[in-house]
């Protein structure tokens, strides 16, 4: 089976101006952002990878071009093969095309990448934050996002801790009238 995967990887790289990198016995195809939508359609249709196993991203900050890599993993259940695809993305306004039209399971996975890395997916039917609260600021898995600790607020010390929060001194969100007492 390894031979056929190798040929698929090479064919993909040739057809979509990509290159092949290999690590720990596993080949990955690096594809350009402009061809990824097309390539995913071919991966699903022509090459028979019927399941999208995972989507994730990596942040190479302070590298800017490319700052992110999107990582896709596809499974072909009938042929017992798995394919890794990487897509470099520049750091300024990172945008990638969605693949939810080909693989339904990309929906939440892309939402998670958007939530955690701030990469927007054009054409996504429901691009909202997945894990973080909807009014959260920043994208936690970016490397320039600090691993901070949040002081827990209780009713008896809510105001005392509130003045130390990053948003202290600003207008409360959503026109809320501020602390309303206990």
Partner 1 sequence: MPQLEEVTLDDLKHLVSDRALAGETMMLNMGPQHPSTHGVLRLLLELDGETVVNCIPDIGFLHTGVEKNMESKTYQKAEVMSDRLDYMNPIGNNFAYCLAVEKLLGLDVPPRAQAIRVILAELQRISSHLVWVGTSALDVAAMSVFLYCFREREQILDIFELVSGQRMMTTYIRPGGLWRDVPVEFEKAVRDFLKIIPQRIDEYEALLTKNPLFIDRTVGIGKISAEDAVNWGLTGATLRGSGVNYDVRKFAPYSGYEQYDFDVPLHTDGDVYARYLVRIAEMRQAVRIVQQALDKLPAGPVRSNDHKFVPPPRSEIGTSMEALIHHFKLWTEGFNAPKGAVYCAVESPRGELGVYLESDGGPKPYRVHFRPPSLDNLQVLPLISKGHLVADLVAIIASVDIVLGDVDR
Which window, 11-19, 30-38, 87-95, 174-182, contacts partner 1 (CB under 8 A)? 174-182
Write down the least CB distance from residue 35 to partner 1, Å.
21
> Is 182 an interacting residue with respect to partner 1 (CB under 8 A)?
yes
Instruction: Give the x/- contact pattern for partner 1 in 22-61, rule: CB under 8 A.
Output: -xx-x-x---------------------xxxxx-x-xx--
Which window, 10-18, 87-95, 138-146, 163-171, contacts partner 1 (CB under 8 A)? 138-146
Kindly tell me which residue out of 30, 42, 132, 161 binds partner 1, with binding defined by CB under 8 A: 132
What phi, psi does 121 have (nearest 5°)? -110, 115
| Comparison of 15 and 60: residue with beta carbon closer to partner 1 | 60
């Amino acid at each position: 089976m390894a031979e056929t995967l190798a040929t698929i990887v090479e064919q993909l790289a040739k057809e979509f101006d990509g290159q092949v990198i290999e690590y720990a016995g596993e080949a990955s195809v690096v594809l350009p952002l402009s061809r990824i939508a097309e390539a995913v359609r071919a991966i699903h249709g022509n090459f028979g990878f019927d399941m999208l196993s995972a989507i994730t991203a990596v942040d190479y900050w302070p590298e800017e071009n490319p700052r992110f890599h999107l990582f896709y993993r596809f499974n072909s259940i009938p042929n017992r093969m798995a394919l890794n695809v990487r897509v470099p993305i520049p750091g300024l306004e990172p945008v990638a095309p969605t693949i939810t039209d080909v693989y339904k399971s990309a929906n939440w996975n892309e939402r998670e990448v958007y939530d955690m890395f701030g990469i927007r997916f054009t054409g996504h039917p429901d691009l909202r934050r997945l894990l973080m609260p909807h009014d959260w600021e920043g994208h936690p898995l970016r490397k320039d996002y600090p691993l901070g600790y949040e002081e827990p607020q209780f009713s008896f010390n809510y105001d005392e801790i509130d003045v130390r929060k990053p948003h202290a001194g600003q207008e409360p969100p959503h026109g809320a009238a501020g602390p309303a007492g206990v």
